[in-house]
Amino acid sequence: MLKNFWYAVEFSDKVTTKPARLTVLGQYLVVYRTPKQGRVVALSDLCVHRGAALSGGWLNDDKIVCPYHGWEYEPDGACSKIPANLPGRGIPKKARVDSYPVQEKYGFVWVFMGDLPEEERPPMPVWPEFDDLVENGGKFRTVTGEFLWKANYERILENGCDIAHAPFVHAGRFGNPDMPQVPDYEVEHPDEWSAFATVDLHPPKPSGLWGKFGRLLGNDLKKRPPVTTSAGWMLPNMIKLHVRLPIGDMVIYDTNIPIDETTTLVKWVALRTFFTGKWADKDAVNRTMRIFYEDAAVVDKVRPELLPFDLGAELHIKSDIIAVEYRRRRQELADKGWLLSEDDFITGDVPRRTATVIPSPARRESPELSRAWVHKARGEHPTVAASRLMDPSPEDETP
């Protein structure tokens, strides 16, 4: 899993003044919208005092209140009130939690999961269709949804860019088993953070609502014009599919949110320039969800679950170039130290689970407090200490 990127973690209209827990890269976040300015805040969902979940608390103006002992945290993560303190007693400098940069764009809340200063951060992706929405007088109408996978997000990412699977996984829908060949293509790189493949495909005769307009496409497959399709990845976890149909354009954006290494929550937006009335929204949602169900039936069972780092570990052919490009780029980022590592994980006591704690920009800005956010285990329960004598392991830190 990659850090130091912007992650689209939730639809903007789902974030309110009621604190909510989200899980990203194995880390719990609490997100909320400030009552006065409506700004979205993202903090580590862990009170530094006794480890309570801040998402179970409430807001006092722009501050979030811990439900356990009432500690209040500012949007920047610093504790500003400890109710148990007597008057005049100060607040420890270590009383703070990680606060992550947040932006709202394309109808999503984006959180920067890393500690890079602003000038060094990769840019957010460009989704140009959002400048041309129907509600603003444009041509694209949108529907949204989400889907939970029991698969690694990188396997899902490659599936979304894979052209050769459509005739078999989506046969009869938009994949054509009678014409499974994938034309040769060149990988397009709009920037250093994305890659796309564009090919001409021959989908089967449409059915359902689209089939009623089949006369626009023609019934003779050989005489029907090909459908130009682009598919590609946008780092760290996004897929874009653009299908140019004779009746208009269809574009789908997926943000594949890693809950953990083998669980992924996809939040998607589907845009279309045809059937732009509200009456067609249900059909657009159902068609998109059927695609996810068909893909998940295969991808959830792929082994190994995690994408190999060794390019030689799996067989690649010409049509897999877009996936190979992703694996090479991932290796470059791993060499830069952008993959989650042991430094980003801490281990609990009972059960011996692990959790992610990604450093925020404030840690880099205040090196003297770099350990302030981490609960160091200064004493252990006797049973844990005894088990360590039987099975020695490095000193643990508890989330």
Percent of the chain with pLDDT over 90: 73
| DSSP single-letter state for residue 392 | -
The pLDDT value recorded for residue 103 is 98
Chain segment 208-236, per-residue pLDDT in tens: 555 555 555 455 545 567 899 999 999 99
Q: Indicate the pLDDT class of residue 395, thresholds 50, 70 and 90.
A: very low
Full DSSP string of 264-276: EEEEEEEEESSS-
The pLDDT value recorded for residue 370 is 65
Residues 39-65: what's their mean pLDDT?
A: 96
Chain segment 302-347, per-residue pLDDT in tens: 999 999 999 999 999 999 999 999 999 999 999 999 999 888 887 7
Chain segment 370-379, per-residue pLDDT in tens: 666 555 444 4
Are 255 and 268 in contact by the 8 Å Cβ rule? The answer is: yes
Per the listing, tokens 């949108």 go with: 142
Are 388 and 357 in contact by the 8 Å Cβ rule? The answer is: no
Half-sphere exposure of 153 (CA within 13 A, CB side): 27
